[in-house]
């Protein structure tokens, strides 16, 4: 196979500061939004090229990025390494996937880069959980400090590093806890044994929430099926599961409308409002860093309830998340020039071909 050229495109998603790769000599589009400065890539030996040139790059260049491409109907001729969010029949999955089929390109979906065991090669899960817990704690503190006023915008660039974010959480809790009878929030994390759940638990601990106030649930605790009264009895619920098959919902509007609810904040790190099997069926849209919480209309005597459903949470700790992710992805990228033989790439292309075959014939 000919020499492989990687083209790192600039992200078009608003406030997406992460990058999938930070340690390889490649063509890098200039970007004012990326957490790594252009000069850092240039110093590492990368070739800086104009922003937005990925579509006109030579066909044999592989386009690497993170989030979805700009909305368009143009066929895609390149091979792409990125998150596609189109293999589980999400909204507009067919029109998006058909662009690759019509253009002759291949989508190597990062979510489906796996070892032979099925475990993902690289994931932002830990930092998604960390950031989801961080915003949940800030939202809980906001409800106590400024009732009826939603959590203001949480701008990633306001937190240059993870320690900056941790300090902001600790400061907020120092004001909120005295207003909660001097009690820390009671947090329930479902999916606590995975990467994402580990990040959520670690964030709570770093923020000063005692381990005794954190309920760590996983498959064993949820096997009986929800809804679960333990969620309504907690202050914060953080959902960190990877949904691979339909399961009963963890909570419903009805279960949360019963008397005695304490729950104030739901952080749905798994975040897939368009999935009909979403086990957190309280919302139907994404929240954003600009508007991080969505209100939930409930009856009953409980406090106001808000949902966090941001689909690129690790951007809140973009530098640490990107460095961690790129270190995981690097071994696979090193064998990308043998992608027709190397298992991780062969498996990813096989999934792509299978999903293309599922496209409605009109596409």
d(C-alpha 269, C-alpha 311), whole Å: 8
- Give the residue from 221, 235, 211, 212 showing the smallest Cα distance to 143: 235
Both structure tokens of 76: 């895609």
- Give the residue from 111, 121, 129, 100 showing the smallest Cα distance to 66: 111
Give all strands (DSSP E) within the chain, no chain letters.
5-8, 27-29, 47-49, 61-64, 79-82, 106-109, 187-190, 214-217, 236-239, 265-268, 294-296, 305-308
Whether 7 is catalytic is: no
Both structure tokens of 60: 């044999």
| 315 alpha carbon, distance to own chain's centre | 9
The answer to whether 258 touches 232, Cβ cutoff 8 Å, is yes
For tokens 């489906």, name the residue.
112
The answer to whether 207 touches 173, Cβ cutoff 8 Å, is yes
d(C-alpha 206, C-alpha 142), whole Å: 19
Catalytic residue among 13, 30, 61, 67: 67
Catalytic residue among 85, 312, 324, 355: 85
d(C-alpha 216, C-alpha 197), whole Å: 8
The answer to whether 78 touches 88, Cβ cutoff 8 Å, is no
| 163 alpha carbon, distance to own chain's centre | 20
For tokens 């064993």, name the residue.
220
Whether 77 is catalytic is: no
| 361 alpha carbon, distance to own chain's centre | 31
Is the Cα torsion angle 160, 163, 169, 175 positive or negative in sign? negative
Catalytic residues: 67, 85
């Amino acid at each position: 196979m000919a020499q492989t050229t990687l083209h790192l495109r600039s992200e078009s998603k608003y406030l997406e500061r992460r990058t999938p790769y930070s340690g390889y000599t490649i063509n890098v589009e200039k970007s004012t939004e990326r957490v790594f400065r252009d000069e850092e890539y240039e110093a590492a030996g990368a070739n800086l090229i104009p922003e937005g040139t990925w579509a006109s790059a030579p066909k044999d260049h592989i386009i690497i990025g993170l989030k979805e491409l700009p909305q368009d109907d143009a066929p895609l001729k390149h091979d792409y390494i990125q998150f596609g969010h189109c293999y589980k029949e999400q909204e507009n999955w067919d029109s998006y996937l058909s662009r690759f089929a019509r253009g002759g390109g291949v989508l190597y979906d990062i979510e489906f880069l796996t070892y032979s065991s099925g475990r993902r090669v690289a994931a932002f899960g830990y930092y998604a959980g960390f950031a989801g817990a961080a915003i949940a704690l800030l939202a809980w503190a906001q409800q106590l400090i400024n009732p009826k006023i939603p959590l203001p915008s949480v701008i990633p660039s306001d937190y240059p590093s993870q320690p900056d974010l941790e300090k902001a959480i600790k400061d907020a809790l120092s004001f909120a806890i005295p207003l909660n009878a001097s009690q820390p929030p009671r947090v329930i994390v479902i999916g606590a044994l995975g990467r994402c759940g580990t990040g959520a638990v670690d964030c709570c601990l770093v923020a000063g929430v005692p381990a005794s106030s954190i309920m760590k649930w996983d498959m064993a605790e949820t096997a009986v099926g929800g809804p679960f009264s333990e969620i309504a009895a907690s202050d914060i619920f953080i959902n960190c599961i990877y949904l691979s098959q339909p399961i009963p919902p963890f909570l419903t509007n009805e279960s949360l409308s019963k008397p005695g609810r304490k729950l104030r904040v739901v952080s749905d790190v798994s975040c897939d409002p368009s999935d009909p099997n979403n086990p957190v069926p309280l919302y139907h849209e994404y929240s954003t860093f600009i508007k991080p919480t969505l209100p939930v209309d409930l009856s009953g005597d409980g406090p106001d309830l808000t949902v966090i459903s941001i689909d690129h949470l690790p951007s809140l700790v973009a530098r640490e998340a990107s460095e961690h992710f790129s270190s995981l992805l690097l071994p696979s990228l090193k064998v990308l020039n043998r992608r027709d033989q190397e298992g991780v790439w062969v498996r990813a292309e096989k999934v792509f071909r299978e999903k293309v075959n599922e496209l409605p014939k009109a596409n």
